[in-house]
Amino acid sequence: MAGRKQFDVDSALDAAMIQFWRAGYAGTSLDDLSHATGLNRSSIYSSLGDKDSLYLRCLDRYATRYGDKYDRALSRASEEPLRAIREFFGVTLARIADPGLPDGCLIAQTAMAIPVLSPEIAARAVEALGFQRARLRKALKAAKLPDADAFAVHIAAVNQSLAVMSRAGAPPKQLRTIVEVSVSALSQALPAD
Beta carbons of 121 and 52 less than 8 angstroms apart: yes
Helices (H), the chain: 9-23, 30-37, 41-48, 51-74, 81-97, 106-112, 119-142, 148-167, 172-189
Beta carbons of 166 and 175 less than 8 angstroms apart: yes
Beta carbons of 17 and 107 less than 8 angstroms apart: no
Please give the average per-residue pLDDT across 19-24, as a whole number. 96
Count of Cβ atoms closer than 10 Å to residue 20 Cβ: 25
Rounded Cα–Cα distance for residues 20 and 88 (Å): 24
Note the pLDDT of residue 94.
96
Q: Burial level of 28, CB count in 10 A (0-12/13-18/19+)?
A: buried
Rounded Cα–Cα distance for residues 43 and 49 (Å): 9
Rounded Cα–Cα distance for residues 97 and 32 (Å): 25
Helical pair 9-23 and 51-74, crossing angle rounded to 10 deg: 90
The pTM of this model reads: 0.90
pLDDT at 91 over 70: yes
Note the pLDDT of residue 192.
78
pLDDT at 85 over 60: yes
Please give the average per-residue pLDDT across 155-182, as a whole number. 96
Note the pLDDT of residue 5.
52
Rounded Cα–Cα distance for residues 117 and 21 (Å): 15
- Share the mean pLDDT of the chain: 93
